[in-house]
Amino acid sequence: MSTTTWLPDLIYLDGRFVSDRALVCDNKIIKIANRDEFPSGIRLKNRALLPGLVNAHSHAFQRVIRGRTEHRSHHTTDSFWTWREQMYAAANRLSPEEIYNASRLAFLEMALTGITAVGEFHYIHHAPDGSTYDDPNLLAREVIRAAHDVGIRIALLRVAYARSGFELEPNPQQIRFIEPSPDTYLKHLEQLLAAPELKDGMAWAGVAPHSIRAVPLDYLKPIINFANERDLPVHMHVAEQPAEVSACIQEYVRSPVALLDTEGLLSKRFTAVHAIHVTPKAIASLKNAGAIVCACPTTERNLGDGVVPVDAYFDAGVRVALGSDSQIQIDLLEDARELEYHLRLQKTARNVLAPADDDSSSALARRLFECATISGAESIGFNGGKLEPGAPADFFTVDLDDLSIAGCAVDDLLTNIVFSLSRTAIRDVVVGGKQIINSGLHE
C-alpha cells in the first residue's frame, strides 16, 4: 500500500491537540512528524484528527426495530423482557439478505459517526425453522461482508446460546440462536476461524457466551478455555437485569461475577457487557482478573436496565469500553457523555467521573474519550484506538467550524467534542489507511 500524508490543523496526541504535525501512513501509522518535513499531502483544512472510535458491543440487526418499541405493549408494565419479545419477533423473520442489509445500514451509520471498528455480538445462526444452514456460519459471514462493504473492522463475537434459562422451558423464539452442545459450538467456531475473510486484519473472531442465563456452567467452561488457549476475546452479557442475577444465585448460589471468578473464567480477555447490578466484591474480582466492562448507556437508558457504576469501576481501576448495543442511537460520543450524565442524575452531583488526581480542565473528557477508543480496542482484541507509530491507520476528523464546537479554545476542544459534538461535524473517516468517509459522505 502506498504512503499517504495527512495534514489536519490539529492532531490528538497523548491526550492533547497539537498543531503543525503530519500523520504519515500506509495501512498503519508510520510516523507522526513535524509538518516542515512533509509539507505536501492531503490537507484537511479546519479539521482536527482523532483516533477512530471503537464500538465494543453491537447487535447490528436490531437496527430494524429502531422506533418500533417505544409504545405500550399489552403488558401492564413494559420492561427489558417485553422489549425482548418484540426484538425476537424481528430476529425470527430476517432472511440472510435482510441481515446483510440491516447490518450494512448499522455499520454505515457507525462509519459516519467516526467508528472504525465494531465488536459484533452475533447470535442469529440458524434458518427461521431452526435448521442449520449448509454453512453454519452463513449469517456471521453476511455480517462480516456488510462490515467489509462499508469498510470498518469487525470482531465477530460468535455467540453461544444453549437454553432459555435455569428451570425454564425452551422458548421457540430462540430457535435460531441455539447450538445445544459446546462441541457443536466449537466446531462451528473453528470453521469460522478458518474462513478466508478472517485473514486480512479487517475481521477476526471471538467467543461470546450469551449470558449465564443462556449458557450453563458445563458449556461455559470448555468454550472459555478454548478462547483462552487461542487468545481470543471473550464477551458476555453480565448482570444486565436483576432477574438474571437472582436466577444465577438460585442455580449456583453465587452471583454471575462470583460464579465466573470462582470458576476461574475471568481474565484480561474477558469483557463483561453491562455489569450493572454488581457488588463491590464483584468489582474487585473484575479488577483482579484484568477484565473490562462494556457499558452501553444509550441502550441501557432505553431499556430501563439501570446505571453502570462506572465511578466504582474507575475507583477500582477497571477499564470501561462502550457499545451501541441495540442501535437505538448510534453515536459513541453520546454513550461517552451518558456514562457521566447518568451518574450526575443519580447522585445529584457534577463531574463524578473526573479523576481525583488530575485537576486539568480536560481530564474528564480524556477519560471518557479513552472509553470510546483505547479501552474498546483492548476489549475486542486489537491494537487500535490510538495514534502512534505501528498502530492501525484508523482515524476520523471533525470540522472545527461546525456550530456545535465552533469558537472553542484548543485546550477545551476535546471537552467540546466529548460533551457537545453533533455527529454531523464528523467529516472524514479512514480505516487501515483507506478513506471510507470523505466530507461526510461514504466513498
Please answer whether residues 158 and 189 qualify as being in contact, where contact means their C-beta atoms are separated by less than 8 angstroms: yes
- CA-to-CA distance for 12 and 386, rounded, in angstroms? 9
DSSP calls for 141-168 = HHHHHHHHHHT-EEEEEEEE---SSTT-
Tell me which residue of 137, 194, 150, 158 sits closest to 59, measured CA to CA: 158
What is the closest distance, in whole angstroms, from the C-beta atom of residue 274 to Zn ion in the complex? 7
- CA-to-CA distance for 330 and 294, rounded, in angstroms? 15
CB-CB neighbours of 354 under 10 Å: 18
- CA-to-CA distance for 98 and 394, rounded, in angstroms? 28
**Which residues fall within 8 angstroms of residue 380, CB to CB, at 6 or more apart?**
54, 56, 117, 118, 119, 155, 157, 206, 233, 235, 271, 321
For 194-234, where are the alpha helices, taking DSSP H only? Answer: 217-230
323/381 with CB nearer Zn ion: 323
What is the closest distance, in whole angstroms, from the C-beta atom of residue 235 to Zn ion in the complex? 9
- CA-to-CA distance for 252 and 38, rounded, in angstroms? 62
Q: Is 9 among the catalytic positions?
A: no
- CA-to-CA distance for 60 and 336, rounded, in angstroms? 20
What is the closest distance, in whole angstroms, from the C-beta atom of residue 237 to Zn ion in the complex? 6
Q: How many CA atoms lie within 13 A of 112 on its CB side?
A: 15
Q: Is 325 among the catalytic positions?
A: yes
- CA-to-CA distance for 412 and 410, rounded, in angstroms? 5
For 194-307, where are the alpha helices, taking DSSP H only? Answer: 217-230, 242-252, 256-262, 280-289, 297-303
- CA-to-CA distance for 205 and 195, rounded, in angstroms? 10
Residue of 59, 122, 125, 274 marked catalytic: 274
What is the closest distance, in whole angstroms, from the C-beta atom of residue 136 to Zn ion in the complex? 22
Q: Find the binding residues for Zn ion in span 288-327 (CB under 5 A).
A: 325
Please answer whether residues 156 and 119 qualify as being in contact, where contact means their C-beta atoms are separated by less than 8 angstroms: no
Size of the site for Zn ion (CB under 5 A): 1
Residue of 9, 261, 305, 325 marked catalytic: 325
What are the phi and psi torsion angles at 441 (to 5°)? -120, 145
- CA-to-CA distance for 14 and 366, rounded, in angstroms? 10
Tell me, what amino acid is at 65?
I
Report the residue closest to Zn ion, judged by CB. Answer: 325
244/394 with CB nearer Zn ion: 244
What is the closest distance, in whole angstroms, from the C-beta atom of residue 227 to Zn ion in the complex? 18
Tell me which residue of 285, 273, 348, 345 sits closest to 312, measured CA to CA: 285
The residue assigned the cell 482515524 is 395
Residues that are catalytic: 274, 325
Contact residues for Zn ion (CB under 5 A)?
325
